[in-house]
Structure 1
Amino acid sequence: MTTDTAATEIIVDIPPTSWTGRTDGHASEHLRWHQAIRAYDPDVAGSGSVLIGFASDEGVRRNKGRPGAAAGPDALRGALASMALPSTLALEDAGTIAVADADLESGQARLGRAVAAALDSGRLPVVLGGGHEVAFGTYSGVAATRLRRTRPRLGILNLDAHFDLRDEPVPSSGTPFRQILEAERAAGSSCRYDIVGISQPSNTTVLFETAHRLGVHYLLDEECGPTDLGIVDAFIADLLDSVDLLYLTIDLDVLPAAVAPGVSAPAAYGVPLEVIQRICDQAAVSGKLAAVDVAELNPSLDIDARTARTAARLIHRIVTRHRPATADDR
């Protein structure tokens, strides 16, 4: 089956390259990511997942963070390459959108078009950041897709130590969710914005007041330990019951610094990996997950690729367990 290529073409700055990794054999029982993944083909109606890189740390720089996240997409691909697949899956790589000359806004717009094209072609877009400025680009694509017209109640689940609701004249990695809520209001629509992992010492009183005023739901990191699974499960269930469509965004600084040292702002406390993985599993099997991105991996600050490997495992779990959201699956 073919598709409308004009509607599903993904335009990137850096085309996908061949993946390499460990090879134990070529039969299905030996399959790893690097053996299964193919270049994205807009002429073929698809299913499965497509990776889209977003090489940017301009938003981090504007937010006075430590740059280096632009190298995140390649590091994530490298960490995924040798992971063993439990079954044969449709996996594609569309290449990478690169933010150049500090032109973040253009890069976000191009990412939005790429995400919309992936969704309209029937794939799950998995965006590899990049700083958390990636979020506004991913959201723009979800908002523009045909799926949003049939599933209007959009939910955003952010796994993050920070609200990213700053009121700044210039967009950055600290502003994307305020931008999203403003864009929804301007469009005459609305979305629900929920966050798991907020660190009180990392967010000023102004940001908490802003979150309350905007109706943001959140759990503090200290409410998300292994003994708090009932609280976390109820929080995620309430979100999923309230929306038709879900965009999941994972800022790796939600994890403890010992697990994810390679980020601009490592967490002194953080949410345990087993809790974050549990949340990702719930989102993946919900039948409502439309897009996911992973943000803030900074390979230059990583230790033994610890952060990259952790992020890759989360991506792997989501992709291998994902139940697609479709226009008539309500």
Structure 2
Amino acid sequence: MKYYTNPNKDIWHGRVSNKYLYLHEKVRCVPLLEISEPSKKSIALLGYACDEGVKRNQGRIGAAQGPEVIKRSLGKFPNHLASTVLLHDAGTISCEDENMEAAQETLSKAVASLLEKKQFPIVLGGGHDMAYGHYHGIKNFLDSENNKQTIGIINFDAHFDLRQNTINNNSGTPFYQIAKESKREDIPFNYLCLGIRKDANDRTLFQTAKDLNVTYILSDTFQMQFLDEINTWIEAFIKNVDKVYVTIDLDGFSSAYAPGVSAPSPMGFTPEIVLECLKTIIGSGKLISLDIAEMNPKFDIDGQTAKLAASLLHYMMHALWGN
């Protein structure tokens, strides 16, 4: 498959127990086309090694190396997954010759294939342009099942990523593209943003969000002391959709936690508030897929951002199917 690389078992290493105490011992490296429908619950990690969208959006490039670094970090974490749960490394989608759109299309097909095979997809990036391909993978899967279920997008992010794509598609345009396509197809555009910063979005982006009926919580409210109110907003949003797709942009976190991103800021949110919200989302039973975007190892400090991404994944996997 063009734009696709098989999983590399050499990146999975750490303390050896021979008792599956660590995730590098648990994971199975299986090429995408060889993954079969499991008899057990199954998680599939898929990389999106592309920072062309970040480059087009005038950001700091380097996110193409993000997926491998996250996997390396995750492998060292302890394994508390039930023995009845499978964990696959399904390889990586790459961007060649600056053809981001082809990488997005390949990602879409890969996500749809994983869902068809009863996997729970977790996509690791890579620029946030992957949200466009990831969303369409979910949508195409539901459409192929003749399933008219609605998709709600929950984005943990400092940015709306609703820039108009009049010049080009990039890491700042995916949700605008989805919104416009939804309008043409006469289907709902359900989009909730958590952690939006006024100092990271100009007034035209706020107007676009208003025009598209986007629900959002500003960064000064997206804090632990307002958790009950935040959960009320999340629960109300989820109530009106059938499936939930969660995307976590690491640049939404304060650079105290995530220095290795394309657009860092000390004014971002904390891991604690994200974990509490994820708990609410998982509890709904509607989560269908997840991704983590904008991991940029080039600017990381002591692997801090990679460890944050791995910790988020560790929490999500075990919250879904842990012992």
Q: When the two structures are superposed, what TM-score results if normalisation uses the length of structure 1?
A: 0.90
**Match of 2:119, as an amino acid?**
R
CA contact (8 A) 1:80 1:309 kept: yes
- Give per-residue Cα distances to partners, 1:19-70, cap 9 Å, x unaligned: 4322342225xx2111111123433435321011000000000000010000
Farther off after superposition, 248-257 or 81-90? 81-90
Residue matched to 1:182: 180
What secondary structure does 1:145 align onto? helix
Of 20, 30, 33, the residue aligned with 2:12 is 20
Listed as ranges, the gaps of 5+ residues in structure 1 are 1-9, 324-330
> 1:282: how far off?
2.1
Q: CA deviation at 1:188?
A: 2.6
| 1:167 corresponds to 2:164 | yes
User: Could you tell me which of 83, 96, 99 is aligned with 1:100?
Assistant: 96
1:151 deviates by 5.5
Structure 1 window deviating more from structure 2 (309-318 vs 140-149): it is 140-149
Moved more, 222-231 or 293-302: 222-231
The range that moved more, 276-285 or 92-101, is: 276-285
2:38 aligns with: 45
Residue 154 of structure 2 is aligned to residue 157 of structure 1: yes
User: Which sits farther off after the overlay, 198-207 or 265-274?
Assistant: 265-274
Report the secondary structure of 1:90's partner residue.
Answer: strand
Please tell me the residue identity of whatever aligns with 2:319.
R
Aligned length: 312
- Quote the Cα distance in structure 1 between the aligned partners of 2:280 and 2:13: 30
| Counterpart residue number, 1:34 | 24
- Partners of 1:257 and 1:271 lie apart in 2 by 9
Candidates 204, 228, 231, aligned match of 1:230: 228
Deviates more, 1:235-244 or 1:15-24: 15-24
- What is the deviation of 1:319? 1.4
1:35 aligned counterpart, secondary structure:
helix
Structure 2: give runs of 5+ residues left out of the alignment. none
Query: Given the alignment, which residue of 202, 209, 212 partners 1:211?
Result: 209
**Structure 1: which amino acid aligns with 2:97?**
D
CA distance in 2, matches of 1:150, 1:316: 30
- Correspondent of 2:121 among 116, 122, 125: 125
Report the secondary structure of 2:269's partner residue.
coil
Counterpart selection for 1:274 from 272, 280, 294: 272
Return the letter of the residue paired with 1:33.
L
Q: State, as a whole percentage, how many aligned pairs show the same letter.
A: 36
Within the alignment, does 1:112 sit opposite 2:104 as a pair? no
Report the residue type matching 2:4 in the other structure: D
Q: CA RMSD in A?
A: 1.6
C-alpha deviations, 1:215-236, integer Å up to 9, x for none? 0000001101121111211111
The yes-or-no answer on 1:62 pairing with 2:47 is no
Are 1:240 and 1:286, in contact at CA under 8 Å, matched by a contact in 2?
Answer: yes
Deviations 1:97-156 (A, max 9, x none): 100111000000000000000111111110010010110010010110137743512100
